Amino acid sequence: MGNTAAVTVCVMLATVMQALDTTIANVALPYMQGSLAATTEQINWVLTSYIVAAAIMTPPTGWLAGRLGRKRLLAGAVAGFTVASVLCGIAGSLEQMVVFRLLQGVFGAPLVPLSQSVLLDAYPRERHGQAMALWGVGVMVGPIMGPLLGGWLTEYYHWRWVFFINLPVGIAAFAGLTVFLHEPGERSRGGAFDWFGFAALSIAIGALQMMLDRGEQLDWFASREIVAEAVVSALAFYLFVVHIATSGQPFIEPRMFRDRNFSAGLAFIFIVGVILLGTLALLTPFVQVLLDWPVFTAGMVLAPRGVGTMVAMLMVGRVIGRVDPRLLIAAGLLLTALSLWEMSGFTTDVGPQALVRTGIVQGLGLGFLFVPLSTVTFATLDPRYRGHATALFSLMRNVGASIGISVAVFLLARNTQVMHAGLAETVTPFTAALRAGGAADIWSVGTRAGLAALNAEVTRQAGLVAYLDDFRLMMIVALAALPLVLLLRKPTRRTAAAVVE
């Protein structure tokens, strides 16, 4: 396969580029919101559109690689992702940004699975562990470097550079793949792809996400659009279920769900997606908008989450063969819940140390979940289903992430309004807090400036309570997942080792 070192570098560039874009835009969201004249709910479409598009387009990757060729598909995906990144950087409206982020997700979906496949072929079997270690580092660079790099670019240049930064990386990766990567001697073109099942599932997920993203803005089921999206999603999902149950070659093999570990694993990875991206989507505005910290500082306090995840994954890799994976999963859930419990007690005076500490603990928890969950989920599954099963596993994680972001942001907006109304009712000229010290001058109810300052403070405190309620809800979700551990069967040592490999 040509020059192994050169292929490794090019593939890693593609992997890092895609991994970075899952987190690099988060810290720039408040700045995008101002430039694109979007609400808090609308600007999060920048995140969910990318995640949903990547989720939908991941399952056909194997079939497309067989039809088009792995080199052609990988190089085309890198080129398309790079062009879409530039288009995101020059987007002049929210609608353009969402469309271009959808394109990024479509072209970014094949990058991670194809890069993993290329590295496995580039190295002999006895060096597969080394190859996967390199690949894992590339995947983990995103959560670690994304917030830092995004914060630095936004602080010292412009938020548009979080997308333009992909241009030189994409050009280098595309040129290297074109020169050094060669097609395998033989490749399977695969059979017919189940386009009806794929389309039905894609429409169901897309309509559901549209309903969640626009529900708050359109007053939910008082809007005909929301009703229509709910009906379309339910009907498409019904057609998908009926189709896979009756089709000879379904998009998703229904017999997989008879495996208890696999079904429970899908529920787990959905919850992991909800907590991981939902919490990150909340932390960015919490730090930048509510606490009014500089964007680079925000990036620095968010990055340790990725460090915690990497440390935990390294630890798990050493003990996975000697410790029951179910215990590691339970420990991961408890660590995640512990960090969210501490976050539910934050105040407007919280310091960077508390955010870094909770971020590391939450990263450790998520790291303890990933590898053992992958081991247990596929340990008892018939190997012939593994291709479809891994695609569905990735799909559930991404769908959980997009739903988690939408629900968290919706609850934040609604609870802020509710708490603002409740707090405002208790504020009178005789409120003790308004009569103490210099507060009477700053929050004077007898002047317009004083009323404006008082309203701003009430809004800030209402927002704080809404954030804490969301963190508490995420903690409850993590704890509610604990009983699922009892549904998992312990894999044998030989099976666990095979799955990790």
Residue by residue, DSSP assigns 71-109 as HHHHHHHHHHHHHHHHHHHH--SHHHHHHHHHHHHHHHT
Q: Which amino acid is at 65?
A: A
Phi, psi (rounded to 5 degrees) for 162: -65, -20
End-to-end C-alpha distance for the chain, whole angstroms: 22
Model confidence at 375, pLDDT cuts 50, 70, 90, reads confident
Query: Between residues 303 and 333, which one has the greater pLDDT?
Result: 333
Mean of all residue pLDDT scores within the chain: 81
For the residues of 25-64, what is the DSSP string, one character each? TGGGHHHHHHHTT--HHHHTHHHHHHHHHHHHHSTTHHHH
| 260 plus 245 within the same structural domain | no
* Domain presence at residue 441: no
Closest C-alpha among 366, 355, 315, 358 to residue 338: 358
pLDDT at 498 over 50: no
pLDDT at 501: 45
DSSP-derived secondary structure letter, 492: P
| 128 plus 96 within the same structural domain | yes
* Domain presence at residue 455: no
pLDDT at 382: 80
Q: Which amino acid is at 105?
A: G
Judge whether 328 and 320 are in contact, CB under 8 Å: yes
| 84 plus 216 within the same structural domain | no
Distance between CA atoms of 136 and 310, rounded to whole angstroms? 9
Which residue range(s) make up the domain with 161? 1-184
Most confident of 237-251, 341-355, 393-407: 341-355
Judge whether 201 and 20 are in contact, CB under 8 Å: no
Closest C-alpha among 248, 298, 286 to residue 460: 286
Lowest mean pLDDT across 17-31, 95-109, 165-179, 225-239: 17-31
| 211 plus 79 within the same structural domain | no
DSSP-derived secondary structure letter, 218: T
Judge whether 372 and 328 are in contact, CB under 8 Å: yes
* Domain presence at residue 123: yes
pLDDT at 311 over 90: no
Mean pLDDT of 282-301: 83
| 31 plus 44 within the same structural domain | yes
Q: What is the CATH number of the domain that holds 307?
A: 1.20.1250.20
Most confident of 65-69, 94-98, 397-401, 433-437: 94-98
Q: What is the pLDDT of residues 243-288, one digit of tens each?
A: 888 887 777 778 888 888 888 888 888 888 888 878 887 888 888 8
Most confident of 245-254, 315-324, 401-410, 440-449: 401-410
pLDDT at 143 over 50: yes
* Domain presence at residue 453: no
Mean pLDDT of 171-198: 76
- Cβ-based neighbour number of residue 435 at 10 Å: 11
pLDDT at 408: 87
* Domain presence at residue 439: no
pLDDT at 497 over 60: no
HSE (side-chain half, CA atoms, 13 Å) at 109: 26
Judge whether 191 and 249 are in contact, CB under 8 Å: yes
Judge whether 488 and 376 are in contact, CB under 8 Å: yes
| 241 plus 315 within the same structural domain | no
Residues above pLDDT 90, as percent of the chain: 16
| 44 plus 138 within the same structural domain | yes
Phi, psi (rounded to 5 degrees) for 33: -60, -40
Mean pLDDT of 133-157: 73
Q: For residue 305, what are its two tokens?
A: 């989450």
* Domain presence at residue 412: yes
Tally of domains in the chain: 3
| 241 plus 266 within the same structural domain | no
The model carries a pTM of 0.78
Closest C-alpha among 276, 275, 248, 256 to residue 478: 275
Mean pLDDT of 320-342: 88
Model confidence at 28, pLDDT cuts 50, 70, 90, reads confident
Residue at which a domain ends, from 134, 153, 184: 184
Closest C-alpha among 465, 405, 389, 377 to residue 273: 405
| 130 plus 222 within the same structural domain | no
Mean pLDDT of 64-86: 88
Q: Which amino acid is at 254?
A: P
Mean pLDDT of 330-348: 92
Listed in order, strand segments (DSSP E) in 179-313 are none
Model confidence at 401, pLDDT cuts 50, 70, 90, reads confident
Residue at which a domain ends, from 133, 154, 184: 184
Q: Is 191 exposed, middle or buried (0-12, 13-18, 19+ CB in 10 A)?
A: exposed
* Domain presence at residue 454: no
| 211 plus 311 within the same structural domain | no
pLDDT at 188: 53
Q: Is 266 exposed, middle or buried (0-12, 13-18, 19+ CB in 10 A)?
A: buried
| 112 plus 4 within the same structural domain | yes
Q: For residue 482, what are its two tokens?
A: 């604990």
Residue at which a domain ends, from 157, 184, 211: 184
* Domain presence at residue 448: no
| 245 plus 258 within the same structural domain | no
pLDDT at 101 over 70: yes
Q: Is the dihedral of CA 64, 66, 68, 69 positive or negative?
A: positive
